[in-house]
Amino acid sequence: MPSKIYLWIEDREGKAGCIFWNSLLRYLFPNVIVESKKNSSGLLKAVKNLDDSESRYVIVFDNSFDNTQAVKEQKLLNQYVDKRKNVVLMDIICFEYILLEFKDLIHWIYAPDDEFLKRRERAISARERLVKSIGNGNMNYKDMREIVEYDEHIDEHNIEQLSAKLLFDLTRNTGFEVSKGKIGDCWVKSCCEWKKRIDNDVCGLEYSGRLTVYDKMKNIYEGTCLKKQFHEAGLEEIL
């Protein structure tokens, strides 16, 4: 009997992150079983106590690199993972950052003549600068003018908090709205199955071409760090 493959996440059931991971794996990697460990402590404990050496385990732990507590937990997690040949840890900042770095984010959520493109110009600029800098290996994002101008409380936020705030500000009042508690239907459903949609709710996909949820997940997978991370975890072979 083939060994099972698990994706363990720290996002709680019913929350935005968990809904996203379940949708992504359901359409692209249906043989992978997604399991929520409720929080970072639960995920750490699960890996520490793992005694199954037959199945494969892929761990998604938020790498909030400027959060002291998260860094400590990551070091512990690395120690547990290193002791097990069937466990691999993906290098992902957080769920929100995945969507934030998605190359077509702005083109999907806003129509070409959307007034939000002007009203949210500062957030759009901050997002572009943040993603470019981190992609180039520069983690000193708090020194960047565009980000400081966007977030006056930047010194109080870590990368996970900034990513969540920025993604929410960019997507709020659209079908793509993402908060800790929910993820918009337009991310996880085919176009256009948003039940609350009204006639003037037009996104960029209305112009570039409507997509099925499978196509959305495939685009996100290929347009973010996920493709590289899944490849390094040995999962791309089953796609």
What domains does the chain contain, in order, with CATH numbers? 5-93+225-238 (3.40.50), 97-219 (no CATH)
The predicted pLDDT at position 3 comes to 84
Q: What is the pLDDT of residue 2?
A: 58
pLDDT tens, position by position, 121-157: 999 999 999 999 999 999 999 999 999 999 999 999 9
pLDDT in tens, 40-49: 999 999 999 9
Sign of the CA dihedral with 218 first, then 197, 181, and 93 last: positive
pLDDT for residue 1: 42
Cα diameter, the chain: 56
pTM: 0.94
Residue from 67, 29, 19, 33 nearest 181 by CA:
19
Instruction: Show the low-confidence residues of the chain (pLDDT under 70).
Output: 1-2, 194, 237-239
Per-residue confidence (pLDDT) for residue 235, from 0 to 100: 87
User: What integer pLDDT is reported at residue 210 of this predicted model?
Assistant: 94
Structure tokens at 185: 């239907």
| Residue 167, pLDDT score | 98
pLDDT at 55: 96
